[in-house]
Amino acid sequence: MLERFFVLPTTVDRIRASWIADQIEQYVEWLAEHEYRPRSILRRVPLIVRFGEFARSHGASHFEELPSHVDAFAKDQIRKRLRPCSKQLARRRLHADITHPIQQLFRVALPDYSRDVHAGTVSQPFGSQAPQFFDYLQEQRGLKKATMRLYRDHLTTYEQYLRQAGIKDLTHLSTDAIEGFITWRSTQLSPTSLRGLCSALRLFFRYLYREQILDRDLSSAIEAPRAYRLSTIPRSIEWGKVREMLDSVDRRSALGKRDYAMLLLLVTYGLRAREVASLRLDDIDWRSERLQIPERKADHAATFPLSPIVGEALLDYLKSGRPRTTRREVFFRARAPRRPISHRVVSLRASYYLRKIGVEVHRPGSHTLRHSCAQHLLDADFSLKVIGDYLGHRSASSTEIYAKVAIEALREVALGDGEEIL
């Protein structure tokens, strides 16, 4: 397999002389099977050979011992660069570029590899002092995985904040360390997100007090900000901008064909990113010209007429852009490894095209197009009840926000006494 990518016999001999040559060849076979480009393989293999030499020089004698040397190797490679990385963001990206292929090797060659376990790091924030907290959230509180991920992110940020403040032991906490963190995060989060942060901290401190890790309950020191319903407006854009965004997609490539089909689904049906990412071939009924969305947020299904424009875009992608695979998901990564996309990819691609045409909107992404679909329906004089059903809202209160984008009606109210509107 190595001869397929490396032309010089001396290069192949040097790779096979490595003490981890068997694992490297296994990794190369995996890369080729998942349709990685030769250029990517040529870049990854020498890096892994250097990593093997580095780990062996630092005492590693078995492949299972290598994960503990990853961070040290990445720091060593960054330090040896001819052009040092002065910016923290650039250093993080370079660190990721170095460690990602190595961790990928471990996932291929090491059964049940876990980055956190093998790297010797704590997988959960405050894991050394409150190791059972996330088990408590799952088993006793019954929180969903998405909520637990959000709590983990909040507490990881708090742990880093305390570390920078020189506080390593939770028993040394004071109310000032809590209030200072919330004040700092208030400059970065919306009021709604800040309320979520305060909820996570309150629950965490109640748990610490209940488990007698702290001798007093600090949750009473946390006061969440007020968040008012309907205090904002939907982040929609004009329909003319929607057309401009769709026209900006280069549909000559597989990536463009995929993105165009995804964007049409977002703006035509007001789908969420998760609903687009989870779409399967079985959900498209070509004979009856129907599109089924089986798993919506409100735990119900929806069926839409298959728009000719959407159908043509999907056919173009399925015939000329989608990789050949036995899997039933519709949308796949355009690059290796060829696996189904996540909802994050859907939102990021929507954000990319919105920025491409110069749209200035708060947090551009897939929900911007969902809001634009709702506003388009509102401009066409559909009722809020119809719009709510179309978007898959469980409650009418979720659709009330779109009443604030009835610009013409609001303008008439503002200019007159409002009697005709009422």
Instruction: State pLDDT tens for residues 109-152.
Output: 987 776 544 444 445 889 888 989 998 998 888 888 878 889 99
Q: Does the pLDDT of residue 419 top 70, yes or no?
A: no
- The domain ranges of the chain are 2-119, 133-221, 239-414
Rounded Cα distance between 19 and 49, Å, is 9
pLDDT score, position 350: 95
Q: Does the pLDDT of residue 397 top 70, yes or no?
A: no
**Least trusted range by pLDDT, from 106-120, 235-249, 300-314, 355-369:** 106-120
Q: Fold for domain 239-414?
A: hpI Integrase; Chain A (1.10.443)
Does the domain at 133-221 match CATH 3.40.50.2300? Answer given as no
pLDDT score, position 385: 87
- Backbone phi and psi for residue 303, each to the nearest 5 degrees, phi listed first: -130, 130
Model pLDDT for residues 314-330, shown as the tens digit of each residue = 999 999 999 988 999 99
Which residues, listed in sequence order, are joined to residue 340 by a DSSP beta bridge? 332
Rounded to an integer, the average pLDDT of 389-418 is 68
Q: Does the pLDDT of residue 45 top 60, yes or no?
A: yes
pLDDT score, position 121: 43
Percent of the chain with pLDDT over 90: 54
Model pLDDT for residues 187-215, shown as the tens digit of each residue = 888 788 888 999 999 999 999 999 999 99
- The tokens of 125 are what? 């924030």
Query: Comparing 257 with 232, which gets the higher pLDDT?
Result: 257
Which residues, listed in sequence order, are joined to residue 293 by a DSSP beta bridge? 302
- Which active-site residues does the annotation give? 272, 297, 367, 370, 393, 402
Q: Does the pLDDT of residue 226 top 80, yes or no?
A: no
Question: Residue 416 — very low, low, confident or very high, per pLDDT cuts 50/70/90?
Answer: low
Q: Is the pTM of this model over 0.75?
A: no
For residue 414, the number of C-alpha atoms closer than 13 Å in the C-beta half-sphere is 7
CB within 8 A of 378, min separation 6: which ones? 384, 387, 402, 405, 406
- The chain-wide mean pLDDT, for the chain, equals 87
